[in-house]
Amino acid sequence: MTAPMVGSAVYRTRRPVSGEWRSSEEARELLGRARSSLALARSTGHGVMVEDLCMLARQTVERAVQAVLVAEGVPAPADGSIRSMLAALEDSGVEVPDRLERAANLFPGETPGEAVRIEKYYEAVLVATEAVRFAEARVRS
C-alpha cells in the first residue's frame, strides 16, 4: 500500500454547479492557484521556453482576477477574457490598478509558436505579480 500524498501535491478539482453561490473558499482556492502559476512563470532555467512562461503569467492574471470576481460577488463575463473581467469589476465599483489595465493589451491572444521578446516576459511577470497583489488585497482570508 502506498502512502497518501500530503501537502500541496494534493488538491481538489471541485467545480461549482451552475447557479451555486461561489464562496470565499473558492476565491481563496483561485488565489492559491494564481500564486502557483506565478511561481511557475518565474521559474527560468535551461530548456524552459519564454513563450510558456508568458502563458503561465497570463494564467496567473486570469486566476487572480477570477478570485476577485468571486470574492466581490461579481458575475463572470461570458467570454472570460481578461479585458471583460476587468471591465466587470470596474462596472461593479471595484477600483482596478492601472497596471492590470495593461494586461488586456499585453495578452491579446497569443499565437502558439510566436516568438516572445524577453522584455515582454519581464513585463508579463510584473503584471502577473500586480494581479496577485490585487487579489490578495481583495480576497478575505
User: What does pTM read for this prediction?
Assistant: 0.79
Could you tell me the domains of the chain?
23-138 (1.20.120.330)
| Grid cell at residue 51 | 513563450
Can you tell me the distance from the alpha carbon of 80 to that of 77, in angstroms, rounded to the nearest whole number?
6
pLDDT score of 114: 66
DSSP string, 79-99: T--HHHHHHHHHHTTPPPPHH
Residue 48 identity: V
**pLDDT values of the chain reduced to their tens digit, one per residue, 141 residues:** 444 544 444 444 444 444 344 578 999 999 999 999 999 999 988 888 888 899 999 999 999 999 999 999 999 999 989 999 999 999 999 999 988 888 877 765 555 566 778 888 999 999 999 999 999 999 975
pLDDT score of 9: 46
